Amino acid sequence: MGEEPSLPARPGSAFGPLVSGAWLVDNLTAPDLQVIDCRWRYDHDGGTATSGRGAYEAGHVPGAVFVDIDKDTTGTQPGVGRRPPPEPAAFQHAMRRAGVSSGSRVVLYDDRSGFSAAWLWWLLRYHGHDSVALLDGGLPAWRGPLERGVAPRLEGDVRASQPRSDMRIDYEQMRQLPPAVVLLDARRPSLFRGEFEPKYPKAGHIPGARNAYWKGNLLPDGTFASPPVLRRRYLELGVREGAAVVAYCGSGISATHDLVALELAGLPGARLYPGSWSDWSARQDAPIEIGDG
C-alpha cells in the first residue's frame, strides 16, 4: 500500500465539515445548534426525485427541521440546468423558516451518507454561512431516540449574502477552461461512460473529466473515509494542492459530496458546475466523450 500522503493542518477554529453521531448526542441541546433533515431520494435509473418529508415525519433526530431539496433549495433561473442554486432572498427565507440564525452552527443529515445533505452544506457556504457540518454517516449514525411528527421551529435571522462567485462556474466559463483544470464527474461509472442516460438529452461525459463517483468517498459503514485516504484518492485522480478543480454530476447534487471530501482531504477551493450534465448535455455545441475517458 505504501505510506499515506501527508495532510496539511486544518484551521482549528472551523466548524465541520463533519460531526460524529456521538458529538451530536452530546451537543444536541446546545442553544446555537440547528439540525436540519435533508432526506431526498433520486432514482438514477428512472430519473425521478422524491421528497423525504414522509420519512422525516415518521422519525427524525429530535428537534431537527425538515428542508425540502426541491422546494426549498432549488432556484428558478432558466437555461442553467435542472437544479440551479436558489436566489439569495428565496434561500434566506427558506433558511430562516428552518430556524437558522447568523450565529447558528448547522448540522445537516440525510439517510444516504451525505448525498443530498452535501448540497445544502455547499449552499449555506455559497450564501455566506460557513458554520455548517454534515452528520458523518447520516441518520444511521444517530444513536439516540427518534422523534415523530413535525418539530416546532423558531424563525431564524440568518442573512444570505451575495453568492460567492468563486465557488461556482457556468457553461460559458466551462467552455473556456484551460486544459490544466481538473474536471471531476461524481456520477456512477455507467453514467460517466455513457452506457445509458435516463434523464438528459445525451449520454457520456464532459471531455477530459475523471470519474470521481461520490460513493468512492465512503467506508462500508457509510461514513467518510479518513482524510489521508481521501487525499490519496484525489491525488490519484490528478488533483494537486492549489490546482484548479471543477466538480459536476447530473444536476449538481452529488458533486457537492466530492467537494466535502476534497475539503476533508486538505484540497479545498474546488468549484461546482451547478448546471452539470443536465446543462451540458442540452447544449447543441457542447462536445461529449463516451467511455472511460
Q: Locate CATH 3.40.250.10 in the chain.
A: 18-164, 166-280
Inter-residue contact 259 to 272 (CB < 8 Å): yes
Calculate mean pLDDT across residues 27-38: 96
The three cell numbers of residue 129 are 454561512
Fold of 166-280: Oxidized Rhodanese; domain 1 (3.40.250)
Query: pTM of this prediction?
Result: 0.92
Catalogue the active-site residues. 249
DSSP string, 129-186: ---EEEETT-GGG--S--B-S-----------PSP-GGGB--HHHHHT--TTSEEEE-
The answer on pLDDT for 5 being more than 50 is: no
pLDDT in tens, 85-132: 899 999 999 999 999 999 999 999 999 999 999 999 999 999 999 999
* Superfamily holding 18-164: Rhodanese-like domain (3.40.250.10)
Q: Which residues, listed in sequence order, are joined to residue 133 by a DSSP beta bridge?
A: 107
Dist. CA 236–CA 134, nearest whole Å: 25
Q: How confident is the model at residue 2 (pLDDT cuts 50, 70, 90)?
A: very low
Residue 253: helix, strand or coil by DSSP?
A: coil
| Percent of residues, the chain, with pLDDT higher than 90 | 79
